[in-house]
Amino acid sequence: MTVTAPPSLPARSAALPRLLAGLGYQEVLSLTEHERRYGLLWLRGPSGRRRPERLIDIVEAAGLTGRGGAGFPTGRKMRSVAGRGETVVVANGAEGEPASAKDRLLLARLPHLVLDGITLAADAVGATEAYLCVHRQEHDLIDGLAAAVAERRAAGLDPVPIQITGIPGRYVSSEQSSIVQYLNGGPAKPTFSPPRPHESGVRGRPTLVNNVETLAHVALIARHGDRWFRGAGLSSAPGSMLVTVGGAVRWPGVYEIELGTGAGEVIMLAGGPAEDLQALLIGGYFGAWLPVEVAWPLPMTQAGMRAVGGALGAGIVVALPGSSCGLAETARVIRYLADQSAGQCGPCLMGLPALAGAVADLAFQGGRGRTVNAVTALIPLIEGRGACRHPDGATQLARSAMRTFIGDARWHDHRGPCDGVRRAPLVPVPGDEEGDWDWI
Protein backbone atom coordinates (compact mmCIF):
# COMPACT_ATOMS: atom_id res chain seq x y z
CA MET A 1 0.00 0.00 0.00
CA THR A 2 1.28 3.47 -0.72
CA VAL A 3 0.50 6.56 1.27
CA THR A 4 0.30 9.73 -0.76
CA ALA A 5 0.61 13.27 0.50
CA PRO A 6 -2.56 15.38 0.51
CA PRO A 7 -3.09 16.83 -2.98
CA SER A 8 -2.91 20.40 -1.66
CA LEU A 9 0.79 20.08 -0.79
CA PRO A 10 3.16 21.48 -3.40
CA ALA A 11 5.54 19.14 -5.17
CA ARG A 12 9.01 19.24 -3.68
CA SER A 13 11.58 21.02 -5.78
CA ALA A 14 13.82 18.67 -7.75
CA ALA A 15 16.85 20.83 -6.96
CA LEU A 16 16.33 20.54 -3.21
CA PRO A 17 17.38 19.74 -0.55
CA ARG A 18 20.84 21.19 -0.74
CA LEU A 19 21.91 22.53 2.64
CA LEU A 20 19.60 20.16 4.46
CA ALA A 21 20.51 17.08 2.37
CA GLY A 22 22.54 15.63 5.23
CA LEU A 23 19.94 16.16 7.94
CA GLY A 24 19.64 12.91 9.85
CA TYR A 25 17.38 11.78 12.64
CA GLN A 26 18.10 14.12 15.53
CA GLU A 27 21.83 13.82 15.46
CA VAL A 28 24.91 15.79 14.56
CA LEU A 29 26.39 14.86 11.22
CA SER A 30 29.91 13.62 11.99
CA LEU A 31 32.85 14.69 9.84
CA THR A 32 33.00 11.29 8.11
CA GLU A 33 29.27 11.32 7.38
CA HIS A 34 29.48 14.96 6.28
CA GLU A 35 32.21 14.17 3.75
CA ARG A 36 30.26 11.15 2.51
CA ARG A 37 27.08 13.22 2.11
CA TYR A 38 28.44 16.47 0.67
CA GLY A 39 31.81 15.39 -0.76
CA LEU A 40 35.36 16.23 0.27
CA LEU A 41 36.51 19.82 0.59
CA TRP A 42 39.48 20.77 -1.55
CA LEU A 43 41.32 23.95 -0.70
CA ARG A 44 43.82 23.17 -3.46
CA GLY A 45 42.58 22.56 -6.97
CA PRO A 46 43.17 19.04 -8.31
CA SER A 47 46.28 20.29 -10.11
CA GLY A 48 47.73 21.37 -6.78
CA ARG A 49 47.96 25.00 -7.84
CA ARG A 50 46.63 27.49 -5.35
CA ARG A 51 44.65 30.51 -6.28
CA PRO A 52 42.32 31.04 -3.33
CA GLU A 53 40.74 34.26 -4.67
CA ARG A 54 39.27 32.17 -7.49
CA LEU A 55 36.52 31.22 -5.04
CA ILE A 56 35.45 34.86 -4.84
CA ASP A 57 34.88 34.91 -8.63
CA ILE A 58 32.78 31.77 -8.34
CA VAL A 59 30.72 33.09 -5.40
CA GLU A 60 30.16 36.33 -7.31
CA ALA A 61 29.13 34.44 -10.47
CA ALA A 62 26.78 32.30 -8.37
CA GLY A 63 24.95 35.44 -7.22
CA LEU A 64 24.90 34.41 -3.57
CA THR A 65 23.57 37.10 -1.22
CA GLY A 66 23.79 37.29 2.57
CA ARG A 67 21.24 35.10 4.35
CA GLY A 68 21.40 36.95 7.67
CA GLY A 69 18.88 39.60 6.68
CA ALA A 70 20.59 42.39 4.75
CA GLY A 71 20.97 40.42 1.52
CA PHE A 72 24.25 42.03 0.42
CA PRO A 73 26.12 40.24 -2.42
CA THR A 74 28.55 37.86 -0.69
CA GLY A 75 31.19 37.87 -3.44
CA ARG A 76 31.42 41.65 -3.36
CA LYS A 77 31.74 41.61 0.43
CA MET A 78 34.55 39.04 0.22
CA ARG A 79 36.32 41.09 -2.44
CA SER A 80 36.23 44.23 -0.26
CA VAL A 81 38.30 42.36 2.36
CA ALA A 82 40.55 40.14 0.20
CA GLY A 83 44.13 41.06 -0.61
CA ARG A 84 44.38 43.68 2.12
CA GLY A 85 47.02 41.98 4.26
CA GLU A 86 46.17 39.87 7.30
CA THR A 87 42.41 39.81 7.48
CA VAL A 88 39.82 38.29 9.80
CA VAL A 89 36.71 36.17 9.14
CA VAL A 90 33.77 36.21 11.55
CA ALA A 91 30.89 33.77 11.13
CA ASN A 92 27.77 35.17 12.74
CA GLY A 93 25.76 32.35 14.29
CA ALA A 94 24.20 34.48 17.03
CA GLU A 95 20.68 34.25 15.68
CA GLY A 96 19.07 37.28 17.30
CA GLU A 97 15.54 36.82 15.98
CA PRO A 98 13.48 34.78 18.43
CA ALA A 99 11.24 33.63 15.55
CA SER A 100 14.18 32.23 13.58
CA ALA A 101 15.65 28.76 14.10
CA LYS A 102 17.57 28.08 10.91
CA ASP A 103 21.08 29.12 11.98
CA ARG A 104 20.77 27.07 15.13
CA LEU A 105 19.61 24.08 13.09
CA LEU A 106 22.67 24.33 10.83
CA LEU A 107 25.09 24.75 13.73
CA ALA A 108 23.56 22.02 15.87
CA ARG A 109 23.03 19.38 13.20
CA LEU A 110 25.25 20.22 10.22
CA PRO A 111 28.19 22.07 11.81
CA HIS A 112 30.77 20.93 9.26
CA LEU A 113 28.94 22.66 6.42
CA VAL A 114 29.34 25.98 8.26
CA LEU A 115 32.92 25.19 9.33
CA ASP A 116 33.83 24.31 5.72
CA GLY A 117 32.44 27.68 4.66
CA ILE A 118 34.51 29.52 7.29
CA THR A 119 37.70 27.77 6.16
CA LEU A 120 36.95 28.50 2.51
CA ALA A 121 36.20 32.17 3.20
CA ALA A 122 39.33 32.49 5.36
CA ASP A 123 41.39 30.97 2.55
CA ALA A 124 39.84 33.20 -0.10
CA VAL A 125 40.31 36.51 1.76
CA GLY A 126 43.73 35.66 3.23
CA ALA A 127 42.53 35.59 6.85
CA THR A 128 44.86 34.74 9.70
CA GLU A 129 42.07 34.54 12.28
CA ALA A 130 38.62 32.99 12.12
CA TYR A 131 35.81 33.25 14.66
CA LEU A 132 32.46 31.53 14.91
CA CYS A 133 30.21 33.59 17.20
CA VAL A 134 27.15 32.15 18.92
CA HIS A 135 25.15 33.25 21.96
CA ARG A 136 27.19 32.42 25.03
CA GLN A 137 24.28 31.05 27.02
CA GLU A 138 23.85 28.22 24.51
CA HIS A 139 26.24 25.86 26.27
CA ASP A 140 25.17 22.68 24.45
CA LEU A 141 25.60 24.33 21.08
CA ILE A 142 29.07 25.61 22.01
CA ASP A 143 30.10 22.16 23.27
CA GLY A 144 28.89 20.54 20.06
CA LEU A 145 30.76 23.05 17.90
CA ALA A 146 33.94 22.63 19.95
CA ALA A 147 33.70 18.85 19.36
CA ALA A 148 33.25 19.40 15.61
CA VAL A 149 36.24 21.74 15.50
CA ALA A 150 38.33 19.13 17.37
CA GLU A 151 37.31 16.45 14.85
CA ARG A 152 38.55 18.69 12.05
CA ARG A 153 41.77 19.56 13.85
CA ALA A 154 42.53 15.84 14.14
CA ALA A 155 41.93 15.52 10.39
CA GLY A 156 44.11 18.57 9.68
CA LEU A 157 41.28 20.35 7.89
CA ASP A 158 41.37 23.99 8.92
CA PRO A 159 44.65 25.80 8.20
CA VAL A 160 43.34 28.82 10.12
CA PRO A 161 42.05 27.56 13.49
CA ILE A 162 38.36 28.38 14.03
CA GLN A 163 37.69 29.93 17.43
CA ILE A 164 34.23 29.34 18.88
CA THR A 165 33.26 32.52 20.72
CA GLY A 166 30.25 33.06 22.96
CA ILE A 167 28.80 36.56 22.74
CA PRO A 168 26.15 38.29 24.86
CA GLY A 169 22.59 37.32 24.01
CA ARG A 170 21.10 40.79 23.56
CA TYR A 171 19.17 41.36 20.37
CA VAL A 172 21.47 44.07 18.97
CA SER A 173 24.60 42.19 20.03
CA SER A 174 24.47 40.08 16.89
CA GLU A 175 24.67 43.18 14.67
CA GLN A 176 28.02 43.00 12.87
CA SER A 177 29.60 46.10 14.39
CA SER A 178 28.53 44.87 17.88
CA ILE A 179 30.33 41.58 17.32
CA VAL A 180 33.45 43.36 16.12
CA GLN A 181 33.45 45.73 19.12
CA TYR A 182 32.98 42.73 21.46
CA LEU A 183 35.86 40.79 19.86
CA ASN A 184 37.95 43.92 20.39
CA GLY A 185 37.26 43.76 24.11
CA GLY A 186 34.42 46.28 24.25
CA PRO A 187 30.68 45.99 24.92
CA ALA A 188 28.60 44.06 22.36
CA LYS A 189 26.85 47.22 21.16
CA PRO A 190 26.67 48.68 17.64
CA THR A 191 29.21 51.34 16.72
CA PHE A 192 28.99 54.49 14.62
CA SER A 193 30.15 53.95 11.05
CA PRO A 194 32.33 54.49 9.11
CA PRO A 195 34.61 52.69 9.56
CA ARG A 196 32.70 49.54 8.65
CA PRO A 197 34.10 46.11 9.60
CA HIS A 198 35.46 45.46 6.10
CA GLU A 199 37.54 48.63 6.43
CA SER A 200 38.60 48.33 10.05
CA GLY A 201 37.27 45.46 12.11
CA VAL A 202 38.80 43.04 14.60
CA ARG A 203 42.07 44.61 15.88
CA GLY A 204 41.76 47.18 13.13
CA ARG A 205 42.06 44.57 10.38
CA PRO A 206 39.72 44.25 7.41
CA THR A 207 37.04 41.86 8.69
CA LEU A 208 34.57 39.74 6.77
CA VAL A 209 31.38 39.16 8.77
CA ASN A 210 29.01 36.62 7.25
CA ASN A 211 25.94 34.82 8.49
CA VAL A 212 26.47 31.08 9.05
CA GLU A 213 23.89 30.04 6.42
CA THR A 214 25.69 32.22 3.86
CA LEU A 215 28.93 30.39 4.64
CA ALA A 216 27.19 27.00 4.36
CA HIS A 217 26.14 28.00 0.82
CA VAL A 218 29.77 28.94 0.10
CA ALA A 219 30.76 25.40 1.17
CA LEU A 220 28.41 23.96 -1.46
CA ILE A 221 29.30 26.48 -4.19
CA ALA A 222 33.00 25.58 -3.72
CA ARG A 223 32.09 21.94 -4.34
CA HIS A 224 29.61 22.27 -7.19
CA GLY A 225 30.23 25.63 -8.83
CA ASP A 226 28.20 28.72 -9.71
CA ARG A 227 26.14 27.13 -12.48
CA TRP A 228 24.94 24.44 -10.11
CA PHE A 229 23.97 27.13 -7.57
CA ARG A 230 21.96 28.97 -10.21
CA GLY A 231 20.10 25.74 -10.97
CA ALA A 232 17.71 26.67 -8.14
CA GLY A 233 15.84 29.92 -7.62
CA LEU A 234 15.42 32.80 -10.07
CA SER A 235 18.04 34.26 -12.38
CA SER A 236 17.67 37.56 -10.49
CA ALA A 237 17.73 35.83 -7.09
CA PRO A 238 19.45 32.46 -7.42
CA GLY A 239 19.87 29.54 -5.05
CA SER A 240 18.06 28.21 -2.06
CA MET A 241 17.44 29.62 1.40
CA LEU A 242 16.30 28.40 4.77
CA VAL A 243 13.03 29.71 6.14
CA THR A 244 11.55 29.36 9.60
CA VAL A 245 7.78 29.00 9.43
CA GLY A 246 5.69 29.52 12.56
CA GLY A 247 2.32 30.66 13.84
CA ALA A 248 -0.91 29.04 12.68
CA VAL A 249 0.50 26.38 10.36
CA ARG A 250 0.21 22.64 10.86
CA TRP A 251 3.94 21.82 10.82
CA PRO A 252 6.01 24.77 12.06
CA GLY A 253 9.73 24.45 11.45
CA VAL A 254 12.72 25.14 9.22
CA TYR A 255 12.37 24.46 5.50
CA GLU A 256 14.71 24.89 2.55
CA ILE A 257 13.11 26.63 -0.42
CA GLU A 258 14.23 27.98 -3.77
CA LEU A 259 14.39 31.77 -3.83
CA GLY A 260 11.31 33.10 -5.58
CA THR A 261 9.00 30.47 -4.10
CA GLY A 262 5.63 32.04 -3.34
CA ALA A 263 4.98 32.88 0.30
CA GLY A 264 1.78 30.84 0.11
CA GLU A 265 3.70 27.83 -1.12
CA VAL A 266 5.93 28.17 1.93
CA ILE A 267 2.84 28.02 4.15
CA MET A 268 1.72 24.89 2.27
CA LEU A 269 5.15 23.28 2.73
CA ALA A 270 4.60 23.74 6.45
CA GLY A 271 1.41 21.71 6.21
CA GLY A 272 -0.89 24.60 5.31
CA PRO A 273 -2.89 26.90 7.57
CA ALA A 274 -3.96 25.42 10.89
CA GLU A 275 -6.91 27.83 10.87
CA ASP A 276 -8.15 30.73 8.70
CA LEU A 277 -5.37 33.24 8.22
CA GLN A 278 -5.58 37.04 8.05
CA ALA A 279 -1.94 38.07 7.60
CA LEU A 280 1.64 36.87 7.29
CA LEU A 281 4.63 38.36 9.07
CA ILE A 282 7.45 37.98 6.57
CA GLY A 283 11.03 38.80 7.53
CA GLY A 284 10.51 38.59 11.27
CA TYR A 285 11.02 41.56 13.56
CA PHE A 286 12.78 43.42 10.77
CA GLY A 287 10.11 42.55 8.25
CA ALA A 288 6.50 43.48 7.70
CA TRP A 289 2.94 42.34 8.17
CA LEU A 290 1.14 41.71 4.90
CA PRO A 291 -2.53 40.83 4.36
CA VAL A 292 -2.62 37.11 3.55
CA GLU A 293 -4.15 37.69 0.11
CA VAL A 294 -1.36 40.15 -0.76
CA ALA A 295 1.42 37.97 0.64
CA TRP A 296 0.28 34.60 -0.76
CA PRO A 297 1.56 34.97 -4.36
CA LEU A 298 4.59 37.12 -3.48
CA PRO A 299 7.98 35.65 -4.37
CA MET A 300 10.35 35.05 -1.47
CA THR A 301 13.10 37.42 -2.65
CA GLN A 302 14.53 40.67 -1.28
CA ALA A 303 13.15 42.60 -4.26
CA GLY A 304 9.72 40.97 -4.03
CA MET A 305 9.33 41.90 -0.38
CA ARG A 306 10.80 45.39 -0.72
CA ALA A 307 8.27 46.14 -3.46
CA VAL A 308 5.48 45.90 -0.87
CA GLY A 309 7.32 47.76 1.90
CA GLY A 310 8.60 44.60 3.55
CA ALA A 311 11.86 42.71 3.81
CA LEU A 312 12.94 39.12 3.37
CA GLY A 313 15.08 39.38 6.50
CA ALA A 314 16.40 36.07 7.71
CA GLY A 315 13.55 34.16 6.08
CA ILE A 316 10.95 34.16 8.83
CA VAL A 317 7.29 33.56 8.01
CA VAL A 318 4.68 33.72 10.77
CA ALA A 319 1.05 32.96 9.91
CA LEU A 320 -1.47 35.06 11.85
CA PRO A 321 -4.92 33.52 12.22
CA GLY A 322 -8.10 35.57 11.97
CA SER A 323 -8.81 35.03 15.65
CA SER A 324 -5.58 36.79 16.74
CA CYS A 325 -5.09 40.54 17.00
CA GLY A 326 -2.25 41.78 14.83
CA LEU A 327 -2.00 44.97 16.86
CA ALA A 328 -1.52 43.07 20.11
CA GLU A 329 1.15 40.91 18.47
CA THR A 330 2.90 44.02 17.16
CA ALA A 331 2.70 45.74 20.54
CA ARG A 332 4.45 42.83 22.24
CA VAL A 333 7.23 42.71 19.63
CA ILE A 334 7.84 46.47 19.75
CA ARG A 335 7.94 46.43 23.53
CA TYR A 336 10.58 43.69 23.27
CA LEU A 337 12.58 45.67 20.68
CA ALA A 338 12.41 48.78 22.90
CA ASP A 339 13.75 46.75 25.83
CA GLN A 340 16.52 45.40 23.60
CA SER A 341 17.84 48.82 22.58
CA ALA A 342 21.49 49.35 23.43
CA GLY A 343 20.38 52.76 24.73
CA GLN A 344 23.16 54.56 22.92
CA CYS A 345 21.19 56.76 20.51
CA GLY A 346 18.55 59.19 21.74
CA PRO A 347 15.89 58.50 19.11
CA CYS A 348 16.08 54.76 19.88
CA LEU A 349 16.44 55.15 23.67
CA MET A 350 13.53 57.59 23.92
CA GLY A 351 11.59 56.85 20.75
CA LEU A 352 11.18 53.08 20.94
CA PRO A 353 9.61 53.06 24.44
CA ALA A 354 7.29 55.87 23.29
CA LEU A 355 6.34 53.87 20.19
CA ALA A 356 5.90 50.70 22.26
CA GLY A 357 3.65 52.64 24.63
CA ALA A 358 1.59 54.10 21.80
CA VAL A 359 1.08 50.74 20.06
CA ALA A 360 0.23 49.08 23.39
CA ASP A 361 -2.26 51.87 24.06
CA LEU A 362 -3.88 51.25 20.70
CA ALA A 363 -3.91 47.48 21.13
CA PHE A 364 -4.94 47.11 24.76
CA GLN A 365 -6.63 50.41 25.70
CA GLY A 366 -7.89 52.26 22.65
CA GLY A 367 -11.33 53.75 22.76
CA ARG A 368 -10.27 57.38 22.89
CA GLY A 369 -10.12 58.18 19.22
CA ARG A 370 -6.54 59.43 19.10
CA THR A 371 -4.29 56.40 19.53
CA VAL A 372 -3.92 55.76 15.78
CA ASN A 373 -2.48 59.23 15.24
CA ALA A 374 -0.16 58.86 18.21
CA VAL A 375 1.45 55.83 16.55
CA THR A 376 1.74 57.28 13.05
CA ALA A 377 3.20 60.57 14.36
CA LEU A 378 6.01 58.80 16.22
CA ILE A 379 7.27 56.65 13.34
CA PRO A 380 9.04 59.39 11.31
CA LEU A 381 10.64 60.77 14.50
CA ILE A 382 12.51 57.47 15.01
CA GLU A 383 13.25 56.15 11.54
CA GLY A 384 16.80 56.36 10.20
CA ARG A 385 18.14 58.14 13.27
CA GLY A 386 20.14 55.41 15.01
CA ALA A 387 23.73 54.29 14.54
CA CYS A 388 22.41 50.84 13.59
CA ARG A 389 19.19 49.68 11.96
CA HIS A 390 17.55 48.55 15.21
CA PRO A 391 15.07 51.45 15.47
CA ASP A 392 14.25 51.15 11.75
CA GLY A 393 13.23 47.51 12.20
CA ALA A 394 10.72 48.55 14.85
CA THR A 395 9.30 51.40 12.77
CA GLN A 396 8.99 49.24 9.64
CA LEU A 397 7.04 46.68 11.64
CA ALA A 398 4.82 49.36 13.18
CA ARG A 399 4.24 51.00 9.82
CA SER A 400 3.26 47.69 8.22
CA ALA A 401 0.92 46.92 11.13
CA MET A 402 -0.80 50.28 10.68
CA ARG A 403 -1.23 49.51 6.98
CA THR A 404 -2.29 45.86 7.24
CA PHE A 405 -4.47 46.17 10.36
CA ILE A 406 -5.77 49.70 9.76
CA GLY A 407 -9.39 48.51 9.93
CA ASP A 408 -8.73 46.88 13.30
CA ALA A 409 -6.78 49.94 14.42
CA ARG A 410 -9.73 52.27 13.77
CA TRP A 411 -12.04 49.84 15.55
CA HIS A 412 -9.71 49.70 18.58
CA ASP A 413 -9.29 53.46 18.47
CA HIS A 414 -13.03 54.06 18.78
CA ARG A 415 -14.31 51.10 20.77
CA GLY A 416 -11.39 49.57 22.61
CA PRO A 417 -9.63 46.21 22.35
CA CYS A 418 -11.07 43.43 20.17
CA ASP A 419 -11.53 39.83 21.33
CA GLY A 420 -8.26 38.86 19.62
CA VAL A 421 -6.09 40.53 22.26
CA ARG A 422 -7.06 37.79 24.69
CA ARG A 423 -5.55 35.06 22.49
CA ALA A 424 -2.20 33.69 23.58
CA PRO A 425 0.74 35.41 21.90
CA LEU A 426 1.70 33.86 18.58
CA VAL A 427 4.87 35.68 17.58
CA PRO A 428 7.55 34.48 19.98
CA VAL A 429 8.87 37.17 22.31
CA PRO A 430 11.37 36.01 24.94
CA GLY A 431 10.55 36.81 28.54
CA ASP A 432 12.95 38.71 30.79
CA GLU A 433 13.93 35.54 32.60
CA GLU A 434 15.43 34.05 29.45
CA GLY A 435 17.59 37.09 28.80
CA ASP A 436 21.33 37.49 29.07
CA TRP A 437 21.29 41.16 29.97
CA ASP A 438 24.99 41.93 30.13
CA TRP A 439 26.85 43.67 27.34
CA ILE A 440 30.38 42.53 28.19
Partner 1 sequence: MSHQLRVNPIACSGHGVCAELLPEIIELDPWGYPILRSATVPPALVPHAQRAAATCPTLALILQRAQSRRP
CA distance 336 to 429: 7
CB atoms under 10 Å from CB of 301, counted, come to 21
Contact pattern for partner 1 over residues 384 through 403, marking x by CB under 8 A: -xxx----------------
- Please give the torsion angle defined by the CA atoms of residues 305, 310, 311 and 314, in that order, rounded to the nearest 10 degrees: -110
Query: Which residue's CB is nearer to partner 1, number 284 or number 386?
Result: 386
Binding segment toward partner 1, per CB under 8 A, in 150-158, 238-246, 342-350, 431-439: 342-350
Query: Which residue's CB is nearer to partner 1, number 23 or number 349?
Result: 349
Amino acid type, 384:
G
Please report how close the Cβ of residue 357 comes to partner 1 at its closest, in angstroms: 13
User: Peptide bond before 425: cis, by omega within 30 degrees of 0?
Assistant: no
Alpha-carbon 90 to chain mean position = 16
Query: Which residue's CB is nearer to partner 1, number 111 or number 391?
Result: 391
Helices 31-38 and 212-224 sit at what angle, rounded to 10 degrees? 50
Contact pattern for partner 1 over residues 362 through 381, marking x by CB under 8 A: -------------------x
Interacting positions 254-273 with partner 1 (CB under 8 A)? none
Query: Which residue's CB is nearer to partner 1, number 191 or number 211?
Result: 191
Four-residue CA torsion sign, 151, 157, 161, 163: negative
Please report how close the Cβ of residue 387 comes to partner 1 at its closest, in angstroms: 5
Contact pattern for partner 1 over residues 289 through 328, marking x by CB under 8 A: ----------------------------------------
173 binds partner 1, rule: CB under 8 A: no
Strands 240-247 and 253-258: antiparallel
351 binds partner 1, rule: CB under 8 A: yes
Binding footprint of partner 1, residue count (CB under 8 A): 14
350 binds partner 1, rule: CB under 8 A: yes
Interacting positions 174-213 with partner 1 (CB under 8 A)? 191-192
Query: Which residue's CB is nearer to partner 1, number 264 or number 393?
Result: 393
Please report how close the Cβ of residue 194 comes to partner 1 at its closest, in angstroms: 10
168 binds partner 1, rule: CB under 8 A: no
Please report how close the Cβ of residue 378 comes to partner 1 at its closest, in angstroms: 9
Residue 388 near residue 341 (C-beta atoms within 8 A): no
Task: Name the DSSP class of 163.
Answer: E
Contacts 24+ apart (CB under 8 A), 81-84: 81/125, 81/198, 81/206, 81/207, 81/208, 82/53, 82/56, 82/124, 82/125, 82/126, 83/53, 83/125, 83/126, 84/126, 84/206
Please report how close the Cβ of residue 351 comes to partner 1 at its closest, in angstroms: 7
Query: Which residue's CB is nearer to partner 1, number 175 or number 256?
Result: 175
CA distance 300 to 304: 6
Read out DSSP for 10-33? PPPPTT--SGGGG--SSSPPPHHH
347 binds partner 1, rule: CB under 8 A: yes
**Binding partner 1 by CB under 8 A: which of 271, 344, 364, 392?**
344
230 binds partner 1, rule: CB under 8 A: no
- E strand or H helix at 326, and its extent? helix 326-339
Give me the helices (H) in 47-138, please: 54-62, 74-81, 102-109, 111-125
Query: Footprint of partner 1 on this chain (CB under 8 A)?
Result: 191-192, 344-348, 350-351, 354, 381, 385-387
